[in-house]
Structure 1
Amino acid sequence: MGREYLDFDVAVTREGQGYAARVLASPAGEASAPFTLPFTATDLAQFMVAVGPPRVVSRRLVPAEARVVDVKEYGRRLGDALLGGDVGRAFRDSLAAAGDQGRDLRLRLRLDAVPDLDPVPWEYLYDSRLGRFLTLSQETPVVRLIDSLERPPVVTVDAPLRVLVMVSSPSDLPQLAVDREEQLLRATTGDLLASGRLTITVLDDATLTGLQRALLDDYHVFHFIGHGGFDQQAQEGVLVLEREDGTAHRVSGSRLGTLLHDARTMQLAVLNACEGARTSGRDAFSGVGQALARQGLPAVVAMQTEISDRAALVFSHEFYWFLTRGLGIDAAMCEVRKAMAVSDEASEWGTAVLLRSGAEQPFSFTAGAAAADDCPESRLESLYDAARGAIKADAPATALPMLEQIASQRPDYLDVTQLLERVRPAVQPEPATRPETVAAVPETVAAVPETRPRTRPVETGPGPSPTSGRQDRQRRKRPIGTWVRATVLVVVLVGCWLAWRVLPTLLQKADPLVSAACGSSAATPGTTDLVIGCAPIAPTVDGSFDDWRSVPEHDVDAAVFGAANRRAGLTGTWQALWDGEALYLHAVVTDPVVTTAEGAAAQWWNGDAVSFEIGPDARALSRTAALRKGQDFHVILALRDGTDRRAAADVNTVGPSPKGKPVFATGAERPEISVVARLRDGGYELEARVPWSAVGRTVAPQRGDVLAMNVDVSDAKGSGADWTLRTMLSSNPQRTGPNQPLPARWQSVTLGDSG
């Protein structure tokens, strides 16, 4: 079933102050043309948002049809730029020549000389003349070519395809989800395991020592699932394995390649770690994926963005389904993309990156391996049984993508429709559990002990295991279920452009993006109390709170009123971001008794609320300087009734007091401030978008500007006529009642580059 390809090799190189596209080899000969990247950094960031996963309905930025149209337009612009002029003519002539020979044409892209263009989503190339995306057809796959000093022999595979999975979840880093991922893994690959096409061995020991020992046995695919990052000092990518004591061990791609190099049957690596394929922008082989391919691994697969659970189910199953039927990896990737493209209207099919180090296919399947029998209903049965098991285990978020996939294929399958109606309302947005970015200096490969590694096969039966032993430390260390995300290939680089919405990334700090959102740095702030990071892509005020997961937190814990009446456990944290349009604020309040605000908007601070004073830089003012009319404001984000997601905003302005000194005296509800609150166990959480115009700014702030600002949490007591303030906490211990109208006593906050 393997396709025979002719190669169209294109290298993008620097030419003066710009770029050039050069055809190095093709059926039509060589050619060259100027290349201009048709996107700004902001365009690319918006594009990655458009193709990213709609986690829940409320997270869709635009309807599905519009998302697909956007993808086509971006892909067309990229295709027109790369395949224009003489390069385009050579491509069309090469297609014709390949057709005359009964072959297909593989576009191999070389970015060695321009690693700064590695983040561009080349997999979405759209050919206007063909009227289609290149990667959605086996006739025109797109791969990224990496030079390798060695060409290992092609491996013949007689079923099963053997996969070694390493799951690394160090005890001193955020833990990865376990049960949900394990059930998705079993549901996804259960039919392939049962048919004998595939075996999965999970490495119990997620250390370099354990991996070295495991590689003495023969495996065809290596999957890493865990944390990854980019070490700025060493300028190389790292994966985070474990030490013998379970703590983090940073390992560079070159060191990992040292172990994989001698595993002669190993032909493919799948890296499920954020930034696993990121390069330094100067050395094209500094990324983990590039380093592995450079050392001779024939193929590395990774993702440019997160993908949804639904897409994960499709990708992981179809990827192995096509590989184990004898398709070359280039063609198999095209088929997987097509399966994803037709399974939903979302555009997540283009996020996979295929790095190749040679022209030969990594696997050669024997006739027996490629002709194994199928059971058409087996996958649906596996998904259905696992979904029912998840429902019984009170895990609706695990069951939902399985049921949705069954319904997309067979809407009348048993009671799937009824189960979907039951599960969907129970699924709420949840924090992402994908591997996080960890930037650190790689450490030395550990010495090898004499013991063999512990490995175990993944059970083939669907559904939860009654004897999974989830309480022991090894089970916690090695969340088997996260392997499905590895199969789904959630790695990389540009992916973190979307993923900035759930964690800060190095791309957030890229000057073009920051400049577009927050302007050029125009001020030298000097010393301030706090820094608020720029938001190149603004948080969405929708009550999911995913956007804030790794933005730095600040405490709201100083009791500045009613300290003696403070309830046990009352505390809060706040986070903020900004851009040229608005200030964005997120707060989490632990409050044993939630009491909503009553009465006039100007007095909402008496109820359960998060409020903040804000004004221009006040560091040069005297300690007794009064409030500045039209410049200082008191913003109140208040809970307004007992239902979830209900909140409102008020802005109190400066007015005279009976004693003649300016105070915050008047206010009204301000609908232009978007605010959403959600009740949670032991308190509440809220986020808000405050346009700068709502706090007196007629000109957008610039990086380096300084604000005077406090963040406060109010806790009310009583209700109705007895409703009043019980305790107030503040981020600023000096923010007492008498000091509220003294801006020089407020905290100083710099509007900075990154969060």
Structure 2
Amino acid sequence: MSRDYLDFDVAVTPEGQGYAARVLASPAGEASAPFTLPFTATDLAAFLVAVGPPRVSSRRLAPAEARVVDVKEYGRRLGEALLSGDVGRAFRDSLAAASGSDHDLRLRLRLDLVPDLDAVPWEYLYDTGLGRFITLSQETPVVRLLDALERPPVVAVDAPLRVLVMISSPSDMPALAVDREEQLLRATTGDLVQSGQVELTVLEDATLGGLQRALLDDFHVFHFIGHGGFDAQAQEGVLVLERADGTAHRVSGARLGTLLHDARLLQLAVLNACEGARTSGSDAFSGVAQALVRQGLPAVVAMQTEISDRAALVFSHEFYYFLTRGLGIDAAMCEVRKAMAVSDEASEWGTAVLLRSGTEQPFSFTGAPVATGDPREGADSRVESLYAAARVALEANATETALPLLEQVAAEHPDYQDVTALLDRVRPVEPTTDRPMALAPAPADTTATRPEVVTEPATEPVTEAETEPAEPAPAPPGSPSPPVSPSPPERLTPPAPRRGPRPKPRGVHLGRWLRLGLLVVLVVGGYAAWRVLPSLLQKADPLVAAACGSSSTDPGATTFTVGCAPVAPVVDGSFDDWRSVPEHDADAAVFGAASRRAGLTATWQALWDHDAFYLHAVVDDPLVTPVQGAPASWWNGDAVSFEIGPDPRALSRTAALRPGRDLHVILAVSADSDRRAAADVNVVGRNSAGRLVFATGSARPGISVVARARDTGYELEARVPWAELGRSVAPQRGEVLGLNVNVSDATGTGPDWRLRTMLSSNPQRTGANQNAPARWQTAALTDAG
């Protein structure tokens, strides 16, 4: 059990052109000292990489030890900046006073007057005198303190602790695997539920009205999983619930607080939502978490980065376990952080932020269980619960659910039953530095139907130097123009190919100018998740300027907008970078509509920066057929392609393709066992009738592309350098491009291999209109994705 706390209250306040740290109350009295945030934009972004979740849940792409060192250095610099001079002396004297009186010391941080500093991850404060992170001990928890309009009395809890869970996934927002989230939460708390310490109620109706009705019953905790964000127009944080028709309903923290306020036993909210604690930078209570505390909820836990599945499993179990053991919420959070810190040497222990009002604990457990018997019994029960849930997920072929469960079992009990063999089955294949990730194999004993991948060997491409180009056969009506050899005067010389895709290290791509250093930037915009960092940092203008230019023109009306990527997606087959980037459909059947397979659909997303254009596509395809033959004909096979060129809006409807400027890029699913995707670029040339068309192209190893199998098809992402698109100068913000995005579905093998159906983002994208850029759709390169 934790001891009682003395409080060390420190506020950061504006001071001239800078800040000051002021000790408002402590056992050693008041004190003050200047405060300067010791980070540039580069430092902050690098730190977000260090503490964010691994890019693929099955492995860490940066060694765990290196990640922890990064966090320690960040925490040391932050600790030395905050606890300097008289403030540092007051902190050390207060520690001594607390220890001498058999108390612990709680550091309560007030940021009311500097909401622009609310985005700094203060939970990683490190004290060199103590030789540890401050909040990784019950002796010195770190809490963010807010004033509340009222403070309800402490609630006495006689087990079980009743938790109301809402998982919201609106139909018009990026999909959230609702069933998976529920399975993971139930699995990790299964032993607590079975022992009667916790009772979970998952709300089936994720609407505001459904929540109101549910709160007529007594609950102690509200646990939200879903989308969160910041409404720039209203300047307030929101959680995204559902309307009756399943669409998104953005609910402000103040409005949500109106409901939670009247739930008399409800003392705590846990918000597992991206940007759930973000403020506007001008009103510290505009964030959802802050609004709930100000309206009287004694405590809120909000995530400042989206956490990995493994970290979420540890957090959910340990948090509710230590609460039900009778620990105060401050001490319980310290124990949770310690459990996360020793789990696979992870650095995500500072992800959760504890916001509180007042000094009293929200709960008083009247029947807290006392540990008896073999201490391994509880651990064995937990492992058994996780393993059983993993087996259920495997039987349903839900490998993404099973993977983190099995990894946690292996971490806690490496020799447990057949956990090692199961992990070998479901883990994605490790990527190498010189080739894309291979598609993950299906579990050997799965009974679920998976898309069949035709692996007929592709014919060897024939180069133009080996044979004279033949006149192509007429293409089917509405199909892309058949490849022909370009006439010499119009021929483009492509950039010299590299030996393979340029390796991209995992990390932050902040543009060449940002590497020269920026002034201190506090506009990271709140609690960013590593997996959604590209879209979040689109709101940080200095970072956008570094990656995509400082000037911008009004693009006018366009079909799409493509956001700038200060943190570039890494083409590694994890696809987590794309989670919150706006999504578009490619669903118009522009060829072969009558033979379209049931279930054939596709969506795509795009980003850009100074160096490259980035594309991600998800294709539902019941039969995946790798491409065959020469690269220029890959549009016949299973592939994602796009036409791209300068702004076509001023062209006449019959204007021809622009040689050297308009290109057709094909990202194809490959039959090669080592490379599951490859890229081709078709350039403009003249056919036998002298008409400008997309002519024979060539494979481009300079384009990084990787594909992975999905249960219902495939998914791919690509990095297309601007140089591969014939540009020597990078585009600027506000520039408009012509852009169609297409998906091909093939049928047959060998000589019978041919295009079956083509989908496009552009309903006008016929075979003829492929060669008429004025008929293309348009995309504005902006700074808002």
**What TM-score, normalized by structure 1, do the two folds share?**
0.80
Return the offset for 1:28: 3.2
Does the aligned pair in 2 maintain the 1:716–1:724 contact within 8 Å? yes
Return the offset for 1:623: 5.4
Return the offset for 1:79: 2.2
More divergent stretch after superposition (580-589 vs 596-605):
596-605
Compared CA separation, residues 42 and 518, structure 1 to 2 (3 A): farther
Does the aligned pair in 1 maintain the 2:386–2:409 contact within 8 Å? no
- For residues 139-194 of structure 1, give each alpha carbon's deviation from its aligned partner in whole angstroms, at most 9, with x where no partner exists: 2211100012333333444x425324142547766675455444444443344344
Q: Aligned equivalents of 1:710 and 1:347: distance in 2?
A: 42
Q: Which residue of 2 aligns with 1:272?
A: 272
Q: Which residue of 1 aligns with 2:90?
A: 90
Q: Which residue of 2 aligns with 1:404?
A: 407
Return the offset for 1:384: 1.6
Return the offset for 1:111: 1.0
Aligned-partner SS, 2:296: coil
Return the offset for 1:700: 2.5
**Structure 1 residues without counterparts, runs of 5 or longer:** 430-491
Compared CA separation, residues 219 and 522, structure 1 to 2 (3 A): closer
- For residues 574-618 of structure 1, give each alpha carbon's deviation from its aligned partner in whole angstroms, at most 9, with x where no partner exists: 321111221011234455654433333334334433332323334
- For residues 332-382 of structure 1, give each alpha carbon's deviation from its aligned partner in whole angstroms, at most 9, with x where no partner exists: 11111011111212211110100010122233445x636354653134234
Q: Aligned equivalents of 1:76 and 1:270: distance in 2?
A: 28
Q: Aligned equivalents of 1:218 and 1:720: distance in 2?
A: 66
Q: Which residue of 1 aligns with 2:162?
A: 163
Compared CA separation, residues 721 and 390, structure 1 to 2 (3 A): closer
1:578 equivalent in alignment to 2:608: yes
- For residues 280-337 of structure 1, give each alpha carbon's deviation from its aligned partner in whole angstroms, at most 9, with x where no partner exists: 3222122222122113322111211222232222222222222233322111111110
1:5-20 superposed matches below 5 A: 5-20=5-20
1:519 equivalent in alignment to 2:549: yes
Q: Which residue of 1 aligns with 2:532?
A: 500
Return the offset for 1:223: 3.0
Q: Which residue of 2 aligns with 1:432?
A: none
Matched letter for residue 409 of structure 1: E
Q: Aligned equivalents of 1:726 and 1:269: distance in 2?
A: 52
**Structure 2 residues without counterparts, runs of 5 or longer:** 432-436, 438-523
Return the offset for 1:496: 4.3
Return the offset for 1:391: 1.4
Q: Which residue of 2 aligns with 1:23?
A: 23
Return the offset for 1:549: 4.4
Q: Aligned equivalents of 2:245 and 2:724: distance in 1?
A: 53
Does the aligned pair in 1 maintain the 2:737–2:778 contact within 8 Å? yes
Q: Aligned equivalents of 1:215 and 1:715: distance in 2?
A: 50
Matched letter for residue 30 of structure 1: E
1:37 equivalent in alignment to 2:51: no
1:186-205 superposed matches below 5 A: 186-201=186-201
Compared CA separation, residues 118 and 718, structure 1 to 2 (3 A): same
Compared CA separation, residues 375 and 274, structure 1 to 2 (3 A): farther
Does the aligned pair in 2 maintain the 1:543–1:645 contact within 8 Å? no
1:149-548 superposed matches below 5 A: 149-157=149-157, 159-167=158-166, 169=168, 177=177, 179-201=179-201, 219-239=219-239, 251-366=251-366, 369=368, 371=370, 373=372, 376=375, 377-388=377-388, 390-392=390-392, 393-394=395-396, 395-424=398-427, 494-500=526-532, 505=536, 508-548=538-578
Q: Which residue of 2 aligns with 1:652?
A: 682
More divergent stretch after superposition (549-558 vs 69-78):
549-558
Q: Aligned equivalents of 1:616 and 1:121: distance in 2?
A: 42
1:537-616 superposed matches below 5 A: 537-556=567-586, 572-589=602-619, 594-616=624-646
Return the offset for 1:721: 5.0
Q: Which residue of 2 aligns with 1:747?
A: 777
Q: Aligned equivalents of 1:361 and 1:651: distance in 2?
A: 63
Does the aligned pair in 1 maintain the 2:646–2:738 contact within 8 Å? yes
Does the aligned pair in 2 maintain the 1:380–1:406 contact within 8 Å? no
Aligned-partner SS, 1:321: helix
Return the offset for 1:119: 1.9
Q: Aligned equivalents of 2:649 and 2:205: distance in 1?
A: 55
- For residues 719-753 of structure 1, give each alpha carbon's deviation from its aligned partner in whole angstroms, at most 9, with x where no partner exists: 44565556655444555555555544543321111
Does the aligned pair in 2 maintain the 1:110–1:144 contact within 8 Å? yes
Does the aligned pair in 2 maintain the 1:141–1:334 contact within 8 Å? yes
For the aligned residue pairs, the C-alpha RMSD in angstroms reads 3.8
Q: 1:691 aligns with which of 694, 697, 721?
A: 721
Same amino acid, percent of matched pairs: 75
1:676 equivalent in alignment to 2:675: no
Aligned-partner SS, 2:610: coil
Q: Aligned equivalents of 1:35 and 1:518: distance in 2?
A: 32
- For residues 77-117 of structure 1, give each alpha carbon's deviation from its aligned partner in whole angstroms, at most 9, with x where no partner exists: 32233223443333333333333434332211111112222
Does the aligned pair in 1 maintain the 2:167–2:203 contact within 8 Å? no
Compared CA separation, residues 405 and 641, structure 1 to 2 (3 A): closer
Compared CA separation, residues 599 and 694, structure 1 to 2 (3 A): same
Aligned-partner SS, 1:163: strand
Q: Which residue of 2 aligns with 1:485?
A: none
Compared CA separation, residues 16 and 209, structure 1 to 2 (3 A): same
Q: Aligned equivalents of 1:247 and 1:653: distance in 2?
A: 42
Does the aligned pair in 2 maintain the 1:168–1:242 contact within 8 Å? no
- For residues 26-45 of structure 1, give each alpha carbon's deviation from its aligned partner in whole angstroms, at most 9, with x where no partner exists: 33333333333333445434
Return the offset for 1:703: 0.8
Matched letter for residue 295 of structure 1: Q
Q: Aligned equivalents of 1:725 and 1:239: distance in 2?
A: 44
Return the offset for 1:705: 1.3
1:47 equivalent in alignment to 2:47: yes
Compared CA separation, residues 695 and 155, structure 1 to 2 (3 A): same
Does the aligned pair in 1 maintain the 2:547–2:564 contact within 8 Å? yes
Does the aligned pair in 1 maintain the 2:638–2:669 contact within 8 Å? yes
Aligned length: 689
Q: Which residue of 2 aligns with 1:142?
A: 142
- For residues 690-720 of structure 1, give each alpha carbon's deviation from its aligned partner in whole angstroms, at most 9, with x where no partner exists: 0112112223222111223333444555544
More divergent stretch after superposition (246-255 vs 544-553):
246-255
Does the aligned pair in 1 maintain the 2:52–2:307 contact within 8 Å? yes
Matched letter for residue 136 of structure 2: L
Matched letter for residue 404 of structure 1: E
Compared CA separation, residues 656 and 526, structure 1 to 2 (3 A): same
More divergent stretch after superposition (224-233 vs 143-152):
224-233
Matched letter for residue 411 of structure 2: S
Q: Aligned equivalents of 2:676 and 2:64: distance in 1?
A: 28
Aligned-partner SS, 1:369: coil
Compared CA separation, residues 743 and 593, structure 1 to 2 (3 A): same
1:700 equivalent in alignment to 2:730: yes
Matched letter for residue 407 of structure 1: A
Aligned-partner SS, 1:677: strand
Does the aligned pair in 2 maintain the 1:13–1:113 contact within 8 Å? yes
Compared CA separation, residues 704 and 123, structure 1 to 2 (3 A): same
Matched letter for residue 159 of structure 2: P
- For residues 634-657 of structure 1, give each alpha carbon's deviation from its aligned partner in whole angstroms, at most 9, with x where no partner exists: 322223317596111122344566
Return the offset for 1:122: 1.1
Q: Which residue of 2 aligns with 1:466?
A: none
Return the offset for 1:120: 1.6
Q: Aligned equivalents of 2:312 and 2:110: distance in 1?
A: 28
Q: Aligned equivalents of 2:627 and 2:200: distance in 1?
A: 56
Does the aligned pair in 2 maintain the 1:522–1:703 contact within 8 Å? yes
Q: Aligned equivalents of 1:581 and 1:232: distance in 2?
A: 29
Does the aligned pair in 2 maintain the 1:623–1:742 contact within 8 Å? yes
